Amino acid sequence: MNIDGQRRTAAEGFIARGSADAFTLVEVVVAAGILAGVLVAILGLAAFVERSGGEIADMQTIAGLGEAIEEELERLEAERGFAGMAALTNPGVILVASHKGDFVRCAGGESPAADRPADDPELCGIARRDRYFLIKITQVQGLEYRDGDCALALSARMEWPYLLPAAPIAGGSAGDAAREVPETVRNIAVIHFVLNP
């Protein structure tokens, strides 16, 4: 008999006692499902955060590339003169930068500085596998250079990732091998410069 005077069967007593002391199979399955859902959400969020962190780092590099691009344009101007620079940028010239964005080098033209050895003390190049940013320098439409102009309006279209290191060959290294990332999946940013003689 229980407290209120009603009689219980042995089975009712076992069920009442069992449900108070342990979880049912349904409760365990529901808890496992909730835990699995939470773990999947956390892993998805971690991948998103990692990808976002990489994108933020790339945008910070892009923000700092302006100065390095300007230095390379000034180097090219010193080499070719102002009129030569105007001729070089119409239709355009290709520059490349490493992933860190610490320096930019010309990758087009007669003697591309990017192809120089990376350890050249005079002017270091950028290894092919390290060319992460592609920078296309052109004259701004509508503001093209004419003889006698005192400034050159330039547009720098930056695309990344441009090249990624190729996977190493089994048992060896990939050397300077790189694979080009299709243009359709590259990020793009554009900045403008004015170059004075």
User: In 3D, which of 61, 67, 63 has the Cα closest to residue 98?
Assistant: 61
pLDDT in the model for residue 104: 92
Determine the Cα–Cα distance for residues 23 and 74; give it in Å rounded to an integer. 75
The mean per-residue pLDDT over the stretch 2-25 comes to: 61
Determine the Cα–Cα distance for residues 178 and 119; give it in Å rounded to an integer. 19
pLDDT in the model for residue 193: 86
pLDDT above 90: residue 21: no
Percent of the chain with pLDDT over 90: 23
Determine the Cα–Cα distance for residues 132 and 194; give it in Å rounded to an integer. 25
In tens, the pLDDT along 72-103 reads: 999 988 988 888 888 888 888 999 998 888 88
Residue 52 belongs to some domain of the structure: no
Determine the Cα–Cα distance for residues 127 and 177; give it in Å rounded to an integer. 9
pLDDT above 80: residue 136: yes
pLDDT in the model for residue 7: 60
Query: Residue 131 burial (CB < 10 Å; 0-12/13-18/19+)?
Result: buried
Residue 93 belongs to some domain of the structure: yes
The mean per-residue pLDDT over the stretch 24-46 comes to: 86
Residue 98 belongs to some domain of the structure: yes
In tens, the pLDDT along 112-125 reads: 888 888 888 888 88
Number of domains forming the structure of the chain: 1
| Residue reference for tokens 């290294």 | 173
In tens, the pLDDT along 55-64 reads: 777 878 888 8
Specify the pTM.
0.69
Residue 56 belongs to some domain of the structure: no
Average pLDDT over the chain, rounded to an integer: 82
pLDDT in the model for residue 4: 59
Residue 115 belongs to some domain of the structure: yes
Integer CA distances (angstroms), 137 to 19, 61, 152, 194, in order: 74, 18, 12, 12
| Structural domain range at position 87 | 66-195
Residue 146 belongs to some domain of the structure: yes
Residue 123, both tokens? 């002017």
Residue 111 belongs to some domain of the structure: yes
User: In 3D, which of 178, 153, 181 has the Cα closest to residue 167?
Assistant: 178
Determine the Cα–Cα distance for residues 34 and 84; give it in Å rounded to an integer. 67
Residue 8 belongs to some domain of the structure: no
pLDDT above 70: residue 168: no
